[in-house]
Amino acid sequence: MIEVVDIHKRYRGRSVLNGASFTVEKGQITCLIGINGAGKSTILKAIMGLTPLKSGTIRIDGQPMDKNLYESIAFIPDHLTMPPGMKLSEGLRFMQDFYQSWNANRAEELMKFFSLDQTERIGNLSRGTAAKFNLVLGLAQDTEYVLMDEPFSGIDMFSRGLIAEVFSSHLIEDRGVLLTTHEIGEVEHLIDRALLMKDGAICRDFQCEQIRSEEGKSIVDVMREVYQA
Amino acid sequence: MNRYLKLVHMEVDRFKYILAGLMSLTLICQFGAVIWWTKSAVSNRESGAWNNGGSMAYSLNPSHNGNLSFTEVISNTQFLFMIPILISIGVLAIYVFLIWYRDWFGRNTFIYRLLTLPIARRHIYFAKLTAILLFIFGLVSFQLALIPVEKLIFNLIVPSDMRDPSYISNSIYANPALGMLIPWHFDSFLVYYVIGIIAVLVIFAAILIERSYGRLGILYAILYLGISAFLLLFPMVGLGLDNLNGYLYPNEIFAIELVMCVAVMAVSVWLGCRLISKKITV
C-alpha cells in the first residue's frame, strides 16, 4: 500500500499541497482528479522522490522511499523521459541494464501490441507514439505499483483506445495503479476509486462503483458538486 | 559499481559525436598546418627564396643555417595549432553546464528517469564528473598522440639534408596553448588540472543548488561561486604568494591555499551529493 500522510509543499510562494492524505491499494485503479494546477502531478513526483516536501510522510509498503523501492514502483510521466538521440531498442536496453524488475518478454509483447518499431529514434516519435513507448517503459517492469501522469493527454482517439485496452488487461491486474487526469470521461469506466483534489488536499475519496449503485451518480456528477459548489 | 560504469558509458556515448568532431577538427587543422607550412618552406628553400630573406626564422635568427626543424613548424603555425585547442576547451567548458541542463530541458526530460533509477543518486553525480574528466584527458592524450605523427609527416616531407633535429618537448613549448595543455613540469601539470577539476566541482555544486532551490537557487548558486572563488584566490591575491615582504612566509601561504583547495573540493562534492540525493527537484 502507498500511504500519503498530510503532505505540504510550497512552490513559488504558493501552497501547492496543503495536507493531502490518502492511500493506494494493490489491485485497484485509483484516480487522482483535479483541475489544472491542483497539485496532482506534484503528488506523483513527491511519491517518486522527484521533489522534496515541506512536511508530511510517504510510505510504500510501510517503507519510506528508497532507491530499492524504484524496483517495485514504476512512474509513467506525461512525457517520454528518454534522450531523443536513443533508438527505441536502446531505450529498452537501458531499462534492462538498470532495473532488475525489467521483464523483457513483457516489453516485447507491449512493443508488438502498440506496433512500435525498435529502430525508430525517440526524438522522431509523434506524441501518440511517444506516449505508447512511455507506457511500454513503465508497464514492462514487474512492479507492485504504477503511477501514471495524464496518460491520455494530447493523444488521438485510436491511441486512446489502445491505451484504455491496457488498463483492462493482465498488464494492470493485481497492481496498485495511481493515475492523474483532468479528462475523466476517458477513464471513468476503468477506475475503481476516485480522489478529488481541491486547494491542495483530498476533498472526496470514494469507490466509483459504490457511488454509482448507491447514489446513482457518476464521477462527473460528484466533480460538479465539488468544483461548482 | 557496475551500474556506475554503465552510467559513465552512457554519458560518454551521448557526447561521442561532439568528441569525435573536436578530435577531427584538431587533426585536420594541425595536420593541414604542418603539411601546408612545411611544403611551402621546402619549396621556398628549393627555389632559393629563403636566401632572399623569405624565412621568418631567418629574420629572427640570423645564425640560422637554412635547415628546417619541427619546432620551427609549430612556432610558425601558432594560429592553426591553437584554434582547435581553444575551441575544444570552450566546448568542454560549455558542456560542464550542458551535461546537467540537457537532462532537464527539451521535450524529453531524462532527469526523471535518471533520478528514479534503483541506484544511489551520487552515482549520477560521479558518472557525470568522470565523463567530463574522461573528455578532458581524452582530448589531451589525443593531442599528445598527434604530435609524434605530425613530426613523422614533417620528416616525410622534408629531405634529410634540409632537416634540423628537434625534441618533441621543445616543439610543444613553441606554442603557448600546447605548453599550457602539456606543462613542462609535472607539478605544473598537477596545479593546472587540479584547479580545473576544482572549477568543475564548484560549477557542478552551483548547478545543483540552482536546480534544488528554484529562482532563489540562482542567487544561492552565484553566492556559492563567489565564495568559492574568494576562498581560492584570497591566499594568492590577498596574502600575496609572490610578496616577499608579506606578513606570512610563502610556505605558510601555500599551505593556506592548499587547505582552501581541499576544503572547497570536499564541500563541493559533499554538497553536490547531498543535493542530488535529498533536495533536487524536477
> What are the structural domains, with CATH classification, of chain A?
2-227 (3.40.50.300)
Q: Is B16 on the interface with A (CB under 8 A)?
A: no
* Backbone φ and ψ of A75, nearest 5°: -120, 125
Read off the C-alpha cell for B146: 598527434
More confident site: B114 or B242: B114
**Distance, C-alpha A61 to centroid of its chain:** 18
pLDDT, tens only, A19-42: 999 999 999 999 999 888 889 999
pLDDT above 60: residue A228: yes
Instruction: Collect all residues of chain A within an 8 Å Cβ-Cβ radius of residue B113.
Output: 81-82
Question: What pLDDT score does B63 carry?
Answer: 45
Instruction: Check CB contact under 8 Å for A82 and B6.
Output: no
Q: Is B6 on the interface with A (CB under 8 A)?
A: yes
Which of A35, A45, A16 minimizes the C-alpha distance to A182?
A35
Average pLDDT of chain B, as a whole number: 90
Contacts of A80 (CB under 8 A, 6+ apart): A122, A125, A130, A131, A133, A134, A137, B107, B108
pLDDT above 70: residue A2: yes
pTM of structure: 0.90
Instruction: Collect all residues of chain A within an 8 Å Cβ-Cβ radius of residue B14.
Output: 83, 85
> pLDDT confidence of B52, banded at 50, 70, 90?
low
Instruction: Collect all residues of chain A within an 8 Å Cβ-Cβ radius of residue B118.
Output: 67-71, 98-100
Secondary structure class of A42 (helix, strand, coil): helix
Instruction: Check CB contact under 8 Å for B14 and A83.
Output: yes
Q: Is B122 on the interface with A (CB under 8 A)?
A: no
Instruction: Collect all residues of chain A within an 8 Å Cβ-Cβ radius of residue B104.
Output: none
- State the smallest CA–CA distance between residue B25 and chain A in angstroms: 23
- The mean pLDDT value for A134-159 works out to 88
**Distance, C-alpha A187 to centroid of its chain:** 12
Question: What whole-number distance in Å separates Cα of residue A227 and Cα of residue A222?
Answer: 9
Question: What whole-number distance in Å separates Cα of residue A157 and Cα of residue B22?
Answer: 46
Instruction: Indicate the residue of B3, B10, B108 with minimum beta-carbon distance to A79.
Output: B108
Burial status of residue A186 (CB atoms within 10 A of its CB: 0-12, 13-18, 19 or more): middle
Q: Is B101 on the interface with A (CB under 8 A)?
A: no
Read off the C-alpha cell for B5: 560504469
Q: Are strands A2-11 and A201-207 parallel, antiparallel or unpaired?
A: unpaired
Instruction: Indicate the residue of A48, A80, A85 with minimum beta-carbon distance to B116.
Output: A48
Phi-psi region of A174 (alpha: psi -120 to 50; beta: other; left: phi over 0): left
Q: Could you tell me how many residues make up chain B?
A: 282
Question: What pLDDT score does B170 carry?
Answer: 86
Which of A127, A134, A173, A122 minimizes the C-alpha distance to A153?
A127
- State the smallest CA–CA distance between residue B277 and chain A in angstroms: 9
Which of B143, B141, B176 minimizes the C-alpha distance to B31?
B143
Question: What pLDDT score does B49 carry?
Answer: 59
Q: Which H, E and C letters describe chain B, residue by residue? A: CHHHHHHHHHHHHHHHHHHHHHHHHHHHHHHHHHHHHHHHHHHHHHHCHHHHCCCHHHHHCCCCCCCECHHHHHHHCHHHHHHHHHHHHHHHHHHHHHHHHHHHCCCCCCHHHHHCCCCCCHHHHHHHHHHHHHHHHHHHHHHHHHHHHHHHHHHHHCCHHHECCCCHHHHHCCCHHHHHHCCCCHHHHHHHHHHHHHHHHHHHHHHHHHHHCHHHHHHHHHHHHHHHHHHHHHHHHCCCCCCCCCCCCHHHHHHHHHHHHHHHHHHHHHHHHHHHHHHCCC
pLDDT above 60: residue B13: yes
Instruction: Indicate the residue of B3, B109, B215 with minimum beta-carbon distance to A81.
Output: B109
Instruction: Check CB contact under 8 Å for A81 and B121.
Output: no
Q: What is the DSSP letter of A36?
A: T
Instruction: Check CB contact under 8 Å for B112 and A81.
Output: yes
Question: What pLDDT score does B243 carry?
Answer: 63
Instruction: Collect all residues of chain A within an 8 Å Cβ-Cβ radius of residue B111.
Output: 81
Q: Which residue of B has its CA nearest to A41?
A: B282
Instruction: Check CB contact under 8 Å for A50 and B115.
Output: yes
* Residue to substitute from A9, A16, A67, interface B, most B β-carbons within 10 A: A67
Distances (CA, A) of A213 to A25, A27, A61, A210, A216: 21, 21, 31, 5, 5
Question: What whole-number distance in Å separates Cα of residue A100 and Cα of residue B125?
Answer: 22
- The mean pLDDT value for B40-48 works out to 83
Secondary structure class of A208 (helix, strand, coil): helix
pLDDT, tens only, A104-119: 999 999 999 999 999 9
Instruction: Check CB contact under 8 Å for A49 and B119.
Output: no
Instruction: Check CB contact under 8 Å for A79 and B110.
Output: no
ipTM of the complex: 0.92
Read off the C-alpha cell for A196: 478529488
The count of CB pairs under 8 A between chains A and B is 71
pLDDT above 60: residue A192: yes
Question: What pLDDT score does B120 carry?
Answer: 95
pLDDT above 70: residue B267: yes
pLDDT, tens only, B111-123: 999 999 999 999 9
Instruction: Check CB contact under 8 Å for A51 and B281.
Output: yes
Instruction: Check CB contact under 8 Å for B14 and A85.
Output: yes
Instruction: Collect all residues of chain B within an 8 Å Cβ-Cβ radius of residue A69.
Output: 118
